[in-house]
């Protein structure tokens, strides 16, 4: 039995993903300006890499939207300027927003599973990428010598 794909719902979700990823581009770029101290060079480079990755994710979401013959959003997801320049706070905020993106990709997977191989593969790849990313941030938030996850039990994201 072929289960029909609810394209309107899929497009709405893809647009939310696009907006969330675009917000990530702005957020990481903004944070990258605010890193001072000895660790500046590698941390700025890492934040800029994350901005580029968010842009790639936004572009992938936009391409999926037009693949489905729909119109991509020109809106950007919510951004909060907490005026924090502490690296730990920046990383915790990043983990929070990445968690929101991950939740959207999981919602997408539930919507497309067994309905579209292409969209299912896409959603799974993105969940893989976002979970790996959240895991990396989690490791950065641990104190040296601490093996336990920053978010114990909850799993990354």
Residues that bind Fe ion (CB under 5 A): 57
Which of 120, 139, 86, 105 has its CA nearest to residue 20? 105
Cα 85 to Cα 18, 56, 78, 100, distances in angstroms: 26, 26, 19, 22
Shortest separation between residue 148's beta carbon and Fe ion, angstroms: 26
Task: Compare residues 27 and 57 and give the one whose CB is closer to Fe ion.
Answer: 57
| The pair of three-digit structure tokens given for residue 28, joined into one six-digit string | 């990481």
Could you tell me if 65 and 72 are in contact, meaning their C-beta atoms sit under 8 angstroms apart?
A: yes
**Gap between the Cα atoms of 125 and 1, Å rounded:** 25
In angstroms, give the least distance from the CB of 116 to Fe ion.
20
Residue nearest to Fe ion (CB): 57
Beta-carbon contacts of 145 under 8 Å, excluding residues fewer than 6 positions away, are: none
Closer CB to Fe ion, 10 or 145, in the complex: 10
> In angstroms, what is the minimal distance from the CB of 145 to Fe ion?
30
CB of 35 to Fe ion, least distance (A): 21
Give CA–CA dist 120/69, Å, rounded: 18
């Amino acid at each position: 039995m072929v289960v029909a794909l609810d394209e309107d719902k899929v497009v709405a979700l893809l647009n939310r993903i696009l907006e969330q990823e675009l917000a990530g581009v702005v957020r990481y770029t903004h944070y990258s300006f605010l890193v001072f101290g000895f660790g500046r060079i590698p941390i700025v480079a890492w934040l800029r890499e994350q901005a580029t990755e968010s842009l790639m994710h936004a572009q992938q979401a936009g391409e999926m939207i037009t693949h489905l013959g729909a119109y991509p959003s020109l809106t950007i997801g919510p951004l909060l300027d907490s005026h924090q320049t502490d690296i730990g706070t920046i990383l915790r905020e990043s983990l929070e927003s990445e968690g929101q993106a991950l939740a959207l990709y999981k919602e997408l997977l539930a919507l497309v599973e067994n309905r579209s191989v292409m969209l299912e593969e896409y959603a799974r790849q993105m969940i893989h990428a976002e979970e790996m990313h959240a895991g990396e941030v989690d490791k950065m938030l641990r104190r040296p010598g601490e093996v336990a996850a920053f978010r114990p039990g909850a799993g990354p994201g």
